[in-house]
């Protein structure tokens, strides 16, 4: 796709290793990718050091990159939507240039606009969310998915409900918020970030008073808490990427071959991503990487979302059937496995997208390091081990059909667990925003959660100094 502005490429910081472009179109694409790489890396580094910049970062990531890389799409984004949907930009043509660093949601005009991830990569459209019940619906229907992202959308949904209920009676407001909180918690049971964010919001509501008359004060308190949840995620994911980059194995010759499962990028996290945030950081730091993307049956988060995000970012990647991971490892073609987490139990057992556990077994068999990349908001110290984690079961249709086409005899019995549990003993390391921990995990997990709580509390004090950056290769490379 040619640059519609006709402008030459944005200023680029050339990689000495970059191949010579073959044509003017290639040159523009290459320059865009370089720009994007620098832009994403700067955002990650900024997030790792500066608290309270969530809104600005989100706007910067979702709009500035879109505007600079694809001005026509940025203009399109402002078009009024039919039926509550807003076209953000056309999906990139296969092999086309990146069209921006996308976060899954943004707020505008009193609405939360959420990218409809069910439609990616074919269509890039947003759905309006006006309150907490609509947020619960969007989460249940997988418009937005990924553990950290759904926690943030739930928090903003509750803040919007409080803002719309400033004039109602205190009893009605409490009933609205409690019912919405229950609906949100039930929407996706495995991802702990969802219940964690809702609990935080409701604790803040209760802290204002049992039946607060002042609707404006309630709305302000809930908005403040939702902002804190989003801001902390922004900071934490940036820090996690820096720590993860420092922990990656080094391959002397050729790209580091990273295998990943499901989708753990900005679409899943709200900001930079966890496992995919580390990939972004490595790419920015000009470490040569190549990503094996598991397609992630049955919902195809890898094929539809991870491949799309890596294309946006210009990161070399290859899509594989899930079942190919074993033979690739056997042939020595995987250097490290990076996955996310929906819930890390107190002993390190980790629930993540179904298919993660077999990958961990294969990685152990072949001596491949297996990293779980999870912010402390995904650590659930109240759940002792993986056996206590509720595993969401999803509809049979997701297995019986692929994008509307039935692939098994009608009426076939189906079992569709959306997650599985990887025992701690198969995990090489857990990468958090407070550092990387190794087995035995229990004491260090508790310590990292406590450290994050202290840092978050300090950041919310009015005169808080900027958070200290974790030292890491991004600084050197940035």
Chain positions contacting ligand MRU, by CB under 6 A: 145-148, 191, 262, 264, 268-269, 274, 301, 340-342, 352-353, 418
Residue 122 known to be catalytic:
no
The residue among 231 and 352 lying less far from ligand MRU, judged by its C-beta, is 352
Q: What angle do CA 430, 317, 68 make, to 5 degrees?
A: 100
Query: Residue 391 Cβ, how far from ligand MRU at the closest point, in Å?
Result: 11
Q: 104, 208, 230: which is closest to 155 by C-alpha?
A: 230
Distance CA 281, CA 241 (A): 6
**In this chain, which residue has its C-beta nearest to ligand MRU?**
340
Cα dihedral: 300, 367, 390, 187 (round 10): -30
Considering beta carbons, is residue 418 or 430 the nearer one to ligand MRU?
418
Tokens standing for 279? 């990939």
Residue with Cβ nearer ligand MRU (97 or 146): 146
In this structure, are residues 428 and 364 in contact, taking their beta carbons and an 8 Å threshold? no
Cα 457 to chain centroid distance, Å, stands at 23
For ligand MRU, the closer CB: 165 or 194:
194
Q: How far is the CB of 217 from ligand MRU (least distance, A)?
A: 34
The smaller minimum CB distance to ligand MRU, of residues 69 and 334, is found at 334
Smallest distance, ligand MRU to C-beta of residue 147, A: 4
Minimum distance, C-beta of residue 267 to ligand MRU, in the bound complex (Å): 9
Rounded Cα distance, 34 and 36, in Å: 5
**Catalytic choice (335, 342, 349, 380):** 342
DSSP string, 372-425: EE--GGGEETTS-SGGGSPPPB--THHHHEETTEE-S-TT-----BSEEEE-GG
Let me know how long the chain is.
Answer: 478
Neighbours of 320 (CB within 10 A): 17
Q: Taking the complex as a whole, how short is the minimal distance between the CB of residue 419 and ligand MRU, in angstroms? A: 6
Catalytic residue numbers?
342
């Amino acid at each position: 796709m040619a640059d519609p502005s006709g402008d030459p490429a944005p200023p680029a910081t050339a990689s000495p290793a970059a191949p010579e472009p073959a044509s003017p179109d290639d040159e523009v694409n290459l320059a865009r990718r370089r720009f994007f790489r620098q832009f994403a890396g700067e955002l990650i580094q900024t997030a790792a050091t500066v608290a309270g910049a969530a809104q600005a970062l989100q706007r910067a990531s979702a709009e500035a990159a879109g505007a600079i890389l694809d001005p026509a799409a940025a203009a399109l984004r402002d078009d009024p939507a039919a039926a509550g949907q807003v076209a953000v930009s056309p999906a990139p043509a296969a092999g086309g240039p990146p069209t921006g660093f996308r976060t899954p949601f943004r707020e505008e005009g009193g609405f939360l606009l959420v990218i409809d991830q069910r439609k990616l990569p074919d269509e890039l459209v947003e759905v309006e969310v006006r309150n907490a019940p609509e947020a619960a619906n969007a989460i249940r229907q997988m418009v937005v998915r990924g553990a950290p992202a759904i926690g943030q959308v739930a928090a903003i949904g509750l803040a919007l409900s409080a803002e719309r209920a400033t004039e109602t009676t205190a009893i009605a407001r409490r009933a609205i918020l409690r019912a919405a909180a229950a609906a949100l918690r039930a929407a996706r049971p495995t991802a702990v970030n969802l219940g964690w964010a809702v609990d935080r919001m409701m604790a803040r509501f209760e802290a204002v008073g049992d039946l607060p008359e002042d609707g404006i004060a309630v709305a302000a308190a809930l908005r403040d808490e939702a902002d804190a949840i989003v801001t902390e995620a922004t900071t934490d994911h940036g820090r996690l990427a820096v720590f993860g980059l420092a922990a990656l194995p080094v391959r002397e010759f050729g790209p580091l071959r990273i295998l990943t499962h499901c989708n753990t990028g900005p679409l899943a996290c709200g900001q930079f991503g966890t496992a995919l945030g580390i990939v972004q950081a490595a790419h920015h730091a000009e470490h040569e990487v190549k990503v094996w993307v598991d397609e992630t049956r049955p919902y195809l988060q890898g094929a539809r979302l991870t491949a799309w995000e890596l294309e946006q970012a210009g990161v070399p990647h290859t899509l594989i059937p899930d079942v190919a991971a074993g033979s690739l490892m056997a042939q020595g073609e995987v250097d490290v496995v990076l996955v996310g987490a929906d819930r890390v139990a107190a002993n390190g057992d980790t629930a993540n997208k179904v298919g993660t556990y077999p990958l961990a077994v294969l990685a152990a068999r072949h001596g491949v390091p297996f990293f779980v990349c999870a912010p402390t908001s995904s650590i659930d110290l109240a759940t002792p081990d993986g056996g206590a984690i509720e595993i969401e079961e999803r509809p049979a249709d997701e297995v019986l059909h692929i994008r509307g086409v039935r692939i098994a005899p009608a009426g076939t019995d189906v079992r569709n667990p959306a997650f599985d549990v990887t025992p701690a003993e198969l995990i090489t390391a857990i990468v958090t925003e407070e550092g990387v921990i190794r087995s035995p995990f229990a004491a260090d997990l508790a310590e990292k959660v406590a450290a994050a709580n202290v840092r978050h509390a300090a950041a919310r004090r009015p005169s808080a100094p900027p958070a200290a950056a974790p030292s890491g290769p991004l600084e050197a490379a940035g």
